Amino acid sequence: MGKKRIGILTSGGDCAGLNPVIRAVVHRAIGTYDWDVVGILYATQGLMSRPVRCRTLDLHSVSQLLTMGGTILGTTNKGNPFRFPMADGKLLDRSEEIIAGYHELGLDALIGVGGDGSLAILRQIAQKGRLNLVAIPKTIDNDLGSTERSIGFDTAVNIATEALDRLKFTAASHERVMILEVMGRDAGHIALSAGIAGGADVILIPEIPYKLSQICQKIAERESMGLNFSVVVVAEAVKTEDGQSITQADSKGDCRYGGIGQYLAEQISACSGAETRVTILGHVQRGGTPSPLDRLYATAFGVHAVDLIAGEQYDRMVAWQNRQVVSVAIQEAIGQYSAVNPDDTLVKTARGMGIYLGN
């Protein structure tokens, strides 16, 4: 096998674990195979810039990355290169510039670290330009198909769990109902896992409808046991009881989830008489030190992604299945959105603990 020159980029929303994955790729590629590694800055935007925005990665440059949040390569979750918004307001297909950028760097293969949106775009570019792409799954939402774990999810769950641990004590001290709104886009994985781990009394996820009267009944049941406080965790994409999405538009007109916690606080206060407070956890879930498990997934994924390139197995994504790293077709992973299955073992666990989860 000849010496290779590989690129790596991080794309989409950042999360904890991206720097450990860069570190693992560099260690495997240089330490085992003696290849060259180029870090591409700001994902596809770096590849469409001239000169291409990149930096050489050596073992020294990744020596402090295991515990570092964010991504030293930068990232973006804006600007689909097939419809890239230009300064004059027009949308331009810039995919050929990205393909040319890959060739300008003299790459033999590219590792793309991303969620479903980014990986779909990267694959489309790779197919168009016949580029050698290997993917690594990352997203706090944990909603990519074919993998039980994506980098970033475990850290986000840890942070949301710690928030619940803290909210429980202040809820009890003031006899309040505390509502924690967490991220996850259209999937309720963070809310479900953190809700169980953090001892929430009510967990609301987009996949399961709920009734406000039943939430208030749960709060009343607790009060009848002398527990005059409750903790509710709600995923950001949960709708109002009558099915309305709550979103906020930013200055560019893009819509983001946010606000369901406040809605619930008002409704719960009205139906139960309880004093309510809302905490929106937001991007705290994506920042900071990666958890040990995220470091572990990142390291295992990074090593195996480089090995896929060594075996010239392209258009594949590394995945975690049954405590093993395997590889699956990228198309398979992005084609199967993985929301919470109402028959999931964690849903049964939550119900078994008497947590109200809707029905």
Contact residues toward ligand F6P (CB under 6 A) are: 13, 77, 139-141, 183-185, 236, 256-257, 286
Is residue 116 annotated as a catalytic residue, yes or no?
A: no
Alpha-carbon distance 116 to 143, whole Å? 8
Our CA angle for 91, 45, 299, nearest 5°, is 135
Q: Of 70 and 129, which CB lies nearer to ligand F6P in the complex structure? A: 70
Tokens 């790459």, residue located = 107
Q: Of 44 and 327, which CB lies nearer to ligand F6P in the complex structure? A: 44
DSSP line for 111-127: EEEE-HHHHHHHHHHHH
Contact between 287 and 13 under an 8 Å Cβ cutoff? The reply is: no
Q: Of 256 and 351, which CB lies nearer to ligand F6P in the complex structure? A: 256
Q: Is the dihedral of CA 289, 293, 299, 301 positive or negative?
A: negative
Alpha-carbon distance 177 to 168, whole Å? 9
Rounded least distance, CB 213 to ligand F6P, Å:
29
Rounded least distance, CB 113 to ligand F6P, Å:
14
Contact between 285 and 156 under an 8 Å Cβ cutoff? The reply is: yes
Contact between 127 and 99 under an 8 Å Cβ cutoff? The reply is: no
Rounded least distance, CB 337 to ligand F6P, Å:
13
**Of 228, 189, 223, 225, which is closest to residue 206 (Cα–Cα)?**
189
Rounded least distance, CB 276 to ligand F6P, Å:
23
**Of 42, 44, 11, which is closest to residue 138 (Cα–Cα)?**
11
Rounded least distance, CB 282 to ligand F6P, Å:
8
Contact between 151 and 137 under an 8 Å Cβ cutoff? The reply is: yes
Rounded least distance, CB 155 to ligand F6P, Å:
12
**Distant-in-sequence, close-in-space partners of 113: CB < 8 Å, separation ≥ 6:** 8, 9, 10, 11, 18, 21, 135, 136, 138, 151
**Of 198, 182, 202, 179, which is closest to residue 190 (Cα–Cα)?**
182
Contact between 136 and 302 under an 8 Å Cβ cutoff? The reply is: yes
Name the catalytic one among 141, 143, 201, 294. Answer: 141
Please give the structure tokens belonging to residue 295: 């470091």
Alpha-carbon distance 34 to 275, whole Å? 62
Q: Of 35 and 153, which CB lies nearer to ligand F6P in the complex structure? A: 153
User: Which residue of this chain has its Cβ atom nearest to ligand F6P in the complex?
Assistant: 183
Rounded least distance, CB 138 to ligand F6P, Å:
10
Please give the structure tokens belonging to residue 59: 């073992």
Contact between 220 and 271 under an 8 Å Cβ cutoff? The reply is: no
Query: Annotated catalytic sites, by residue?
Result: 141
